């Protein structure tokens, strides 16, 4: 009888320990869920101050959100947001300058692209001469390539490290590409602008890129 009571006491202790551990795990899970960032909770607009040609200017940026991937703020007075069609979980969203006209051979654009099952290095290699190749003026004889810089930077939420690739053309056309591993694929953010627009538009697009927040932050 005494041995049976000891067994019951041991069993009760084990059950209490299991309940305690389960409660801790549930609390931890709830805490993790509460820490998940909901992009919809980000404000619809934010004011940003940048320096262009030595002068400070403050603009109200508008939030663009791709449901399960990112939110980013852009100057809606200067850019039009054009979400791309999602095909096989891949997409390419564009921010196109409203000031570019049909005579602009190299549009002032920012693109956000996602390709699943792909590393940043593979993405660059695959697209180096394709749709996302560095843009150049039509008279340029030497085509630039994406070259990895020694800079690893953070953008927006500061939770992801991005690689910076430089594809600036010999004619001065500005091309920069940020890549990061994301959702078992590659998320790329590209900036492109004509040489004559470098002074102001590179600053404006860089300030937009720096606001990106990824959904799993």
Mean pLDDT by 10 residues, the chain (217 residues): 48 40 41 60 93 87 91 95 93 93 86 95 91 88 90 84 94 94 94 86 90 85
Q: How far apart are CA 69 and CA 182, in angstroms?
A: 9
pLDDT of residue 129: 85
At the topology level, CATH places domain 39-214 in Protein Transport Mog1p; Chain A (3.40.1000)
Q: Are 91 and 109 in contact (CB under 8 A)?
A: no
Q: How far apart are CA 105 and CA 50, in angstroms?
A: 27
- Which has the closest alpha carbon to 94: 76, 112, 77, 71? 112
Q: Domain map of the chain by residue range?
A: 1-35, 39-214
Please identify which residue in the block is written with the tokens 């570019």.
Answer: 100
pLDDT of residue 12: 41
pLDDT of residue 216: 76
pLDDT of residue 31: 39
Predicted TM-score (pTM) of the model is: 0.80
- In the 8-state DSSP scheme, what is residue 86? P
pLDDT of residue 21: 38
28 burial type by CB count under 10 A (0-12 exposed, 13-18 middle, 19+ buried)? exposed
- Which has the closest alpha carbon to 168: 140, 128, 134? 134
pLDDT of residue 14: 37
What is 25-62 written as a DSSP string? HHHHHHHHHHHS--GGGS-SEEEEEEEETTEEEEEEEE
Q: Are 116 and 87 in contact (CB under 8 A)?
A: no
Structure tokens at 105: 């051979």
pLDDT of residue 90: 94
pLDDT of residue 47: 95
Please identify which residue in the block is written with the tokens 């920069």.
Answer: 176
Q: How many CB atoms lie within 10 A of CB 165?
A: 23
Structure tokens at 175: 């091309």
Structure tokens at 1: 């009888």
């Amino acid at each position: 009888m005494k041995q049976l009571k000891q067994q019951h006491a041991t069993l009760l202790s084990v059950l209490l320990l299991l309940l305690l551990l389960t409660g801790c795990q549930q609390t931890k899970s709830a805490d993790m869920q509460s820490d998940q960032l909901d992009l919809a909770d980000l404000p619809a607009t934010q004011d940003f101050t940048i320096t262009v040609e030595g002068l400070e200017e403050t603009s109200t940026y508008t939030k663009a959100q791709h449901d399960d991937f990112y939110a980013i703020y852009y100057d809606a007075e200067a850019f039009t947001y054009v979400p791309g069609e999602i095909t096989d979980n891949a997409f390419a969203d564009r921010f196109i300058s409203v000031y570019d006209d049909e005579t602009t051979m190299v549009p002032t654009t920012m693109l956000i692209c996602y390709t699943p099952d792909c590393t940043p290095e593979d993405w660059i290699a695959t697209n180096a001469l394709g749709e996302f190749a560095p843009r150049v003026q039509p008279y340029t004889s030497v085509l630039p390539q994406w070259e990895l810089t020694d800079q690893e930077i953070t953008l927006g939420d500061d939770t992801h490290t991005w690689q910076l690739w430089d594809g600036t053309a010999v004619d001065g056309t500005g091309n920069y590409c940020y890549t990061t591993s994301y959702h078992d694929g590659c998320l790329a953010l590209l900036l492109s602008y004509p040489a004559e627009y470098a002074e102001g538009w590179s600053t404006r697009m860089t300030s937009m890129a720096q606001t990106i927040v990824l959904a799993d932050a």
